[in-house]
């Protein structure tokens, strides 16, 4: 009897366990943009759940993750109901599964089939609606029925047309994928880490994070792109009978259509395309995780219809997941520019996605402990979105007993100075400001593109110059011209190359204050914060003299950043360094565009709402910011002005209630003109 109850309960318990895990993953993946499971783990849980629900239909329920797409929209955004549901795709993980998909379709439709092969972009699905050729609404997929209104954020994507050209129907909904190009993603992560923020592990999460910013100006800072791959709801006629014609038609209307789409006339053609792109995808500037094969004729698509949340006329033929098992040989530590002690994995070398992986980041001590990684463990490693190698998890069942737990060092691995750690931070720090590792990283950062932009000085050359004591801190770069012969000898470079470097160093003296502030490498102060400081204080002496309150009053700077700025300038060795840079002839003044006399909106808070006629919302917001104002997305008592376009929604009512000054676009432009003439508010 007990046995019977157990065997009846077991599948139910497993089904519930899988549902709960998948629901959690869905929330992390779709709402918080930070998945903690690998795609392959997620896929295999979903498969197990599907097959259990088929085997035990008495346990099937309509809101099981197998029946839903994604997760419900976040409450932070206005919800949008899709006129037609946004579906998902069934997956094939190998050739047999792909061919059985075709067989299933052929049971319902005996005709010969053509297929369109497309890449499966690893980004964020969106819907964009055009009325009379104008972009009026953009939404995320959400749970497939309801998504989030991200209209203003989508407007900031250069390749999404705001107006269509040619012959469009009165209402046209297109569907596509927002992506974060890999090159932009890498640069974006560099800026984030300079700003003291955590790096995104892959472009998909970064794209989702960017699109789901509450402030479209924030989205605009993150260079996203978009590929359109289909048509949704339409009012009016379309001149297309096939998927391939739809893509051509969308291209003519002005949409960004992927150049690798291909029409083939057999499953062999799809397999050939797949084999080509398993290799070729690693060289693309965007992440793809498979090929999508779509039945070409639209009447055939309609005939085949959907099953649950997946169309029968299309399938995602997934690329093999780029993970490998290897051994965690050691956990070592390097020292960052700010003195942070950063753990990394030393791995038994393994090939993943065409690259030889020997190291992977381990972020911080908590990360290692939460994954229970031990030296000697067998581990699974992946290149997240083909970019940064990650240790995904260890395989405890393979332990032999000789594995050892992490011991955090007590002294800096480079200078041996005692390490400082605090309960409030995940990282520990070497606080010896003459630590060689910190200084060489500091020089690397100082010369980097977003800082002083001195080309021709890589990490190796910096190391040599430091070992030979030609540079002991960044100010010595400006004295290098006096040691030309010695530099040529130790660098083993020709005179012309050295002259080019010396010219670049000399020219960097003219870089404005915001570049110098970035280059100093103050914790949490990257290009954006430097720009804010520069706009507000205009020269280095005013930044140094600023009080905590004055710094915190700069819109965009909070207590964490201001305390880091204050403690940097409270340190006499930093002031000495700045004085050396001053003596070396650096320009320590803000760029002319930030002249204080133009800061007519200083400390004023704006909300911009509704559709504008002559400018995009982002243009208006940028204008406010360059004039010293702050833009927020919600109305409060602190709001000074609301700029209103057409269809402003509830914000205008709130503004009336709080008696906030309302301006339309023309009044706003007029106000700027008169303020710049009279220079007061």
Continuous H helices in 475-526: 484-491, 495-507, 513-520
In angstroms, rounded to a whole number, what is the distance separating the alpha carbons of residues 394 and 372?
Answer: 7
Minimum CB separation of residue 310 from ligand IVH in Å reads 8
Helices (H) and strands (E) in the chain, counts: 24, 24
In angstroms, rounded to a whole number, what is the distance separating the alpha carbons of residues 401 and 632?
Answer: 56
Residue in the shown chain whose Cβ atom is closest to ligand IVH: 125
Minimum CB separation of residue 157 from ligand IVH in Å reads 15
In angstroms, rounded to a whole number, what is the distance separating the alpha carbons of residues 635 and 660?
Answer: 9
Minimum CB separation of residue 238 from ligand IVH in Å reads 17
Which lies closer to ligand IVH via its Cβ, residue 281 or residue 609? 281
Minimum CB separation of residue 19 from ligand IVH in Å reads 19
Between strands 641-644 and 661-664, the pairing is parallel
In angstroms, rounded to a whole number, what is the distance separating the alpha carbons of residues 138 and 308?
Answer: 25
Minimum CB separation of residue 116 from ligand IVH in Å reads 9
Which lies closer to ligand IVH via its Cβ, residue 120 or residue 363? 120
In angstroms, rounded to a whole number, what is the distance separating the alpha carbons of residues 439 and 603?
Answer: 37
Place of tokens 């750690």: 421
In angstroms, rounded to a whole number, what is the distance separating the alpha carbons of residues 92 and 319?
Answer: 9
Which lies closer to ligand IVH via its Cβ, residue 141 or residue 445? 141
- Total residue length of the chain: 681
CB atoms < 10 A from the CB of 564, how many?
17
- CA distance readout (Å), 358 to 329, 352, 599: 10, 10, 51
Which lies closer to ligand IVH via its Cβ, residue 37 or residue 435? 37
In angstroms, rounded to a whole number, what is the distance separating the alpha carbons of residues 97 and 647?
Answer: 49
- CA distance readout (Å), 79 to 73, 127, 204, 261, 569: 7, 13, 22, 32, 46
Tokens of 300: 């055939």
- CA distance readout (Å), 601 to 80, 535, 625: 34, 12, 8
Under 8 Å between Cβ of 324 and 381: yes
Q: Is 67 left (phi over 0), alpha (psi -120 to 50) or beta?
A: alpha
**CA Rg value for the chain:** 29
Which lies closer to ligand IVH via its Cβ, residue 139 or residue 505? 139
Minimum CB separation of residue 291 from ligand IVH in Å reads 8
Using alpha carbons only, give the angle 224, 229, 233 rounded to the nearest 5 degrees: 110
Under 8 Å between Cβ of 545 and 566: no
Which lies closer to ligand IVH via its Cβ, residue 118 or residue 473? 118
Which lies closer to ligand IVH via its Cβ, residue 86 or residue 624? 86
Which lies closer to ligand IVH via its Cβ, residue 118 or residue 377? 118
Under 8 Å between Cβ of 316 and 91: yes
What residue ranges bind ligand IVH (CB under 6 A)? 87-89, 118, 120-121, 125, 141, 177, 229-230, 292, 311, 314, 316
Which lies closer to ligand IVH via its Cβ, residue 262 or residue 604? 262
C-alpha 491: how far from its chain's center? 38
Minimum CB separation of residue 141 from ligand IVH in Å reads 6
CB atoms < 10 A from the CB of 581, how many?
23
Minimum CB separation of residue 124 from ligand IVH in Å reads 7
Minimum CB separation of residue 618 from ligand IVH in Å reads 25
Using alpha carbons only, give the angle 506, 510, 513 rounded to the nearest 5 degrees: 130
- CA distance readout (Å), 96 to 91, 263, 267, 285: 12, 21, 11, 30
In angstroms, rounded to a whole number, what is the distance separating the alpha carbons of residues 434 and 574?
Answer: 12
Residues marked active site are found at: 120
Contacts of 625 (CB under 8 A, 6+ apart): 217, 631
Minimum CB separation of residue 296 from ligand IVH in Å reads 13
In angstroms, rounded to a whole number, what is the distance separating the alpha carbons of residues 259 and 264?
Answer: 15
In angstroms, rounded to a whole number, what is the distance separating the alpha carbons of residues 636 and 639?
Answer: 5
Minimum CB separation of residue 162 from ligand IVH in Å reads 22
């Amino acid at each position: 009897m007990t046995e019977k109850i157990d065997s009846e309960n077991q599948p139910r318990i497993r089904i519930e366990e899988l549902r709960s895990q998948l629901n959690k993953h869905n929330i992390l993946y779709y709402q918080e943009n930070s998945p903690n499971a690998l795609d392959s783990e997620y896929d295999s849980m979903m498969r197990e759940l599907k097959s259990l629900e088929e085997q035990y239909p008495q346990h099937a329920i309509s809101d099981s993750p197998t029946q839903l797409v994604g997760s419900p929209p976040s409450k932070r955004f206005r919800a949008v109901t899709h006129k037609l549901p946004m579906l998902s795709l069934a997956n094939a993980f190998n050739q047999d599964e792909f061919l059985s998909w075709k067989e299933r379709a052929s049971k319902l439709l005996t005709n010969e089939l053509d297929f369109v092969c497309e890449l499966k972009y690893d980004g964020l699905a969106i819907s964009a609606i055009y009325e009379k050729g104008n972009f009026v609404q953009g939404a995320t997929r959400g749970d497939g029925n309801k998504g989030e209104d991200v209209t203003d954020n989508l407007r900031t994507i250069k390749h999404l047309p705001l107006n269509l050209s040619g012959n469009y129907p009165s209402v046209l909904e297109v569907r596509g994928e927002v992506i974060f190009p890999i090159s932009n993603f890498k640069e974006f992560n560099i800026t984030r880490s300079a700003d003291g923020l955590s790096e995104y592990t892959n472009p998909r999460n970064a794209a989702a994070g960017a699109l789901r910013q509450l402030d479209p100006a924030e989205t605009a800072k993150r260079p996203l792109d978009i590929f359109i791959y289909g048509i949704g709801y339409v009012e009016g006629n379309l001149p297309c009978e096939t998927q391939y014609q739809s893509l051509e038609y969308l291209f003519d209307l002005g949409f960004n259509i992927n150049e690798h789409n291909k029409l083939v006339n057999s499953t062999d053609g799809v397999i050939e395309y797949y084999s080509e792109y398993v290799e070729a995808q690693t060289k693309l500037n965007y992440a793809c995780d498979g090929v999508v094969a779509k039945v070409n004729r639209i009447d055939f698509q309609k005939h085949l219809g959907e099953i649950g949340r997946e169309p029968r006329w299309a399938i995602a033929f997934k690329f093999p997941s780029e993970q490998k098992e290897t051994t965690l040989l050691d956990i070592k530590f390097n020292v960052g520019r700010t003195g942070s002690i950063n753990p990394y994995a030393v791995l038994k070398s393994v090939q993943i996605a065409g690259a030889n992986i020997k190291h992977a980041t381990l972020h911080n001590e908590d990360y290692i402990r939460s994954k229970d990684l031990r030296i000697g463990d067998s581990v699974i490693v992946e290149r997240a979105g083909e970019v940064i190698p990650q240790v995904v998890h260890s395989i405890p069942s393979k332990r032999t007993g000789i594995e050892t737990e992490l011991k955090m060092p007590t002294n800096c691995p480079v200078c041996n100075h005692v390490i400082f750690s605090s309960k409030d931070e995940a990282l520990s720090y070497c606080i010896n400001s003459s630590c060689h590792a910190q200084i060489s990283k500091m020089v690397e950062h100082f010369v980097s593109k977003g800082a002083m932009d001195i080309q021709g000085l890589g990490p190796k050359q910096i190391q040599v110059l430091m070992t030979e004591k030609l540079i002991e801190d960044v100010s010595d770069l400006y004295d290098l011209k006096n040691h030309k012969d010695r530099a040529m000898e130790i660098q083993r470079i020709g005179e012309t190359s050295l002259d080019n470097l010396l010219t670049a160093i000399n020219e960097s003296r003219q870089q404005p204050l915001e570049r110098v502030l970035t280059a100093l490498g103050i914790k949490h102060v990257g290009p954006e914060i430097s720009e804010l400081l520069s706009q507000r204080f205009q020269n280095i002496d005013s930044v140094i003299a600023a009080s905590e309150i004055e710094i915190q009053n700069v819109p965009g700077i909070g207590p964490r950043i201001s305390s880091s700025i204050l403690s940097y300038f409270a340190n006499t060795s930093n002031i000495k360094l700045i004085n050396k840079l001053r003596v070396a002839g650096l320009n320590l003044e803000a760029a002319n565009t930030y002249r204080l006399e133009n800061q007519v909106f200083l400390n004023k808070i704006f909300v911009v709402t509704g559709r504008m006629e002559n400018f995009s919302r982002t243009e208006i917001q940028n204008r406010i910011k360059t004039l010293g104002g702050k833009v927020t997305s919600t109305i409060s008592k602190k709001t000074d002005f609301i700029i209103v376009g057409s269809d402003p929604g509830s914000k205008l009512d709130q503004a009336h209630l709080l008696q906030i000054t309302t301006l339309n676009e023309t009044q706003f432009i007029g106000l700027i003109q008169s303020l710049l003439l009279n220079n007061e508010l």
